[in-house]
Amino acid sequence: MRRILAATAALCLTAGGSSSLAYLKLGAIVNGRVVDATWHQQPIGFFISTRDGSGATAAELRGAVERAAATWSSAEPASVRLQFQGMTNALAEGADGLNTIGFLARPDLDRVLALTSVMVDSATGAIYEADIVINTSFAFSVAPGGQPGRVDLESVALHELGHFLGLGHSAIGETEITGGGTRRVTGHGAVMFPIALSAGTIAERVLQADDIAGVSDLYPTGAVAFETGGIVGRITKNGQGVRGAHVIAFNPETGVLIGGFSQGAAGDFVIARLPPGAYILRAEPLDDADPSNYFPHPVDTDFRVTYAPRMVAAPKGGASPPIEIRVLPR
């Protein structure tokens, strides 16, 4: 009998409203081991709900989603095929056997732009159904150049399709606390950052290196394993592992920024699918968004931003020798 694991991930206008169970990749426990939650068959079909939203019709939603799907499908060196299968009267929620994307009123989620539900077969780790709700509490836009005061629908679709494919949230981003006590993004380096840019922006229509590394890790082409490398290491504080530290790898030659997290009590981290080369590593606490956007358990955020003492090379087809980054309490 197939057991079901449901996970949800959301794109927030501001932090604080999402109920998510996600990190870089969605996972499922299969036979006691955590495996990536991925679609095991392609193309991955989806339907668009016929309901119109605020500022955008269902047809416009279809256009935005198809553009976003094409963006994910063209991400190299990943191998993803998303396919529109038709319009449906079904709602974008519940286990009905359809992968549905549609507008739905969710006034209870007053800070959540959109929400993706992913259903995973816990016997295999395969995603067998996913739905995306676009919250009609917000005004959306499909204007090619964006529209002041309205959230770009294609950007939201691109983020949610990342969850639809099995990606969790990225932590490559910086935020500031506004006068109202909410967070405002000052900059981000991944479409999968959990907090959206301000209404009117369209910069999130483009996948960044961290997004591409993530999707390549989930859906690698045959050559990916030989063409990319990894960095492994450990974050420690006073000799103990740090759980939930965010580690950014920056390649000064290409400008690429790709992130990873220390997981487990030992503080071990792995950053995979890196283009080969030398990287500067920067460890930071998860304090630019609600940590629950990444982990279902508490994380250690009581440490200062710390750089690895040396650059670390990610070799083609392999992993670096382990490096330890020792952080200090704030």
Partner 1 sequence: MSFLRQGGRLRHCVLAAVLWWAWPAIAVAQQAPALRPGHFTLGAAVVRAGTYDIGDATAQLTGNAPGVSPPPFTLFQARSRLTAATLPEFTLGFAFTRRLALEAGASLSSPRVAVAISGDQEAPAQELPGEQLGQYQFEAALTWQVPMRIHRRIAPFAIVGGGYLRQLHEGRTVVETGEVYFAGAGARYWLRGASGRSLAFGIRGDARLNVRRRGIDFENLTRSYPSLSLGVFLGL
Can residue 308 be called a binding residue for partner 1 (CB under 8 A)? yes
Cα–Cα distances (Å) from 145 to 61, 142, 148, 159, 175, in that order, read: 16, 8, 10, 18, 24
State in angstroms the smallest separation of the CB of 219 from partner 1.
24
Can residue 179 be called a binding residue for partner 1 (CB under 8 A)? no
CB 33 within 8 A of CB 42: no
Cα angle value 323/324/326 (rounded, 5°): 150
Structure tokens at 198: 């301000």
Structure tokens at 245: 């530290």
Stretch of 56-64, 100-108, 259-267, 318-326 lying at the interface with partner 1 (CB under 8 A)? 318-326
Can residue 305 be called a binding residue for partner 1 (CB under 8 A)? yes
The residue among 26, 41, 46 whose CA lies nearest residue 120 is 26
Binding residue for partner 1, selected from 92, 172, 213, 271, defined by CB under 8 A: 172
| Per-position DSSP letters for 107-133, written without gaps between them | TT-TTEEEEEEEEEETTTTEEEEEEEE
Beta-strand pair 277-284/312-314: antiparallel
Binding residue for partner 1, selected from 146, 241, 259, 291, defined by CB under 8 A: 146
Binding residue for partner 1, selected from 35, 139, 202, 266, defined by CB under 8 A: 202
Binding residue for partner 1, selected from 94, 148, 296, 298, defined by CB under 8 A: 148
- Give 42 or 198: the residue with its C-beta nearer to partner 1: 198
Q: Which residues contact 63 (CB under 8 A, 6 or more apart)?
A: 142
Interface with partner 1 in residues 230-289 (CB under 8 A): 248, 250, 252-253, 255, 257, 276-278, 280, 282, 284
State in angstroms the smallest separation of the CB of 5 from partner 1.
33
Q: Using the structure block, give the residue that is written with the tokens 């694991």.
A: 5
Q: Contact residues for partner 1 (CB under 8 A)?
A: 145-146, 148, 172-174, 184-189, 197-198, 200-204, 208, 229, 248, 250, 252-253, 255, 257, 276-278, 280, 282, 284, 304-316, 318, 320-321
